[in-house]
Structure 1
Amino acid sequence: MILIALGANLPGPDGRDALATCRAAAAALDALPGLRLRALSRWYATAPVPPSPGAPDYVNGMARLALRPGAAPPDPAALLAALQEIETRFGRVRPYLHAPRTLDLDLIDLDGVMRDAPDPILPHPRAHLRAFVLAPLADVAPGWVHPRLSATVADLLAQADQAGVRVLG
């Protein structure tokens, strides 16, 4: 199971809002070579982490991908590069750490691979601390267990600060 977190809090260069951008990005994930979108979470509105006065709330979700029949497992660095290319197509710029963004795609888990270096670190090093990642992850993979911590997504979510995380619609 491949888990990709999606987030955005700025309009895209084409003027679409953050939710529309995230939906279009999910479709782009389904078009990645060898991968197939198997599940998409509900969408969540979340406060920026860390707090950023004046920054709009994020739209966050989670995509669960699987290999297409006959496809080889993706190389983590190559998959990260593909995600960053999608971000660039959707107008992502990186002016400073934690800047508002048109699209953010984070590789959370790649079939339980544990990797400390080089990038990407797997599983994502802060995913277990963030309710805006864990809530949508629980939607698409309720039985997921953190590969390093051996904790379920439900247990991690129960320990996370869920203030500012709410289901859209």
Structure 2
Amino acid sequence: MILIALGANLPGADGTAPLSTCRDAAAALGTIPGLMVEAVSGWWLTEPDPPDPRSPWYVNGVARCRGDIGPEALLPALQALEAEAGRQRPYPNAPRTLDLDIIAMGNMVRDVPDPILPHPRAHLRRFVLQPLAEVAPGWVHPVLGHGVEALLAALPEAAMRRL
């Protein structure tokens, strides 16, 4: 199981609303060779984390995929989709037209960057775990050994609502 988080809080390069950009990106995941989309969560409107008064709220979701693609091939494919959506990286945690993060690839554990697996902060982010629980209930974090439901229960409430 491959879990990919999707998010956006700025209009796309062509003016597309963040929700449409995320929906389009979820569909585009299926065009990556070796990757098949099995399920996409509902979409959530979430406060920026860390909070930033200059940043609009995000649209977030998670796609559950399967395939025979490795992280070294998947990451640049996701970055290409981000670039197509007009993604800029002016500073850390900047608002963005599209953000695609590999959360986990089965039980793979990688400490080397690009990408580190599982995602090093996914277990701390309700905006990732809430939609992840929709598409992968019972998912267990490969390093922490805790299920998504337990990870969610350990987090404080967050400003977010289902779209």
User: Match of 1:124, as an amino acid?
Assistant: H
Tell me by how many angstroms 1:118 deviates: 3.1
Q: TM-score, normalised by structure 2?
A: 0.98
2-side partners of 1:138 and 1:166: how far apart?
Answer: 15
1-side partners of 2:91 and 2:116: how far apart?
Answer: 20
Tell me by how many angstroms 1:14 deviates: 0.9
Q: 2:133: which partner in 1?
A: 138
SS in 1 for 2:110: coil
Tell me by how many angstroms 1:161 deviates: 2.4
Q: 1:70: which partner in 2?
A: none
- Percent identity (aligned): 61
Q: What pairs with 1:103-142 in structure 2 (closer than 5 Å)?
A: 103-142=98-137
SS in 1 for 2:32: coil
SS in 2 for 1:81: helix
User: Match of 2:116, as an amino acid?
Assistant: I
Deviations 1:77-129 (A, max 9, x none): 21111100100001001000000000000000011100000320000000000
The count of corresponding residues between Structure 1 and Structure 2 is 163
- Is contact 1:130–1:161 with CA below 8 Å preserved after alignment? no
Q: 1:44: which partner in 2?
A: 44
In structure 1, list runs of 5 or more residues that go unmatched.
68-72
1-side partners of 2:141 and 2:129: how far apart?
Answer: 11
SS in 2 for 1:109: strand
In structure 2, list runs of 5 or more residues that go unmatched.
none
1-side partners of 2:40 and 2:60: how far apart?
Answer: 11
- Whether 2:151 is the aligned partner of 1:160: answer no
Q: 1:62: which partner in 2?
A: 62
User: Match of 2:160, as an amino acid?
Assistant: V
Q: 2:30: which partner in 1?
A: 30
Q: TM-score, normalised by structure 1?
A: 0.94
Q: CA RMSD in A?
A: 0.8
Tell me by how many angstroms 1:148 deviates: 0.2
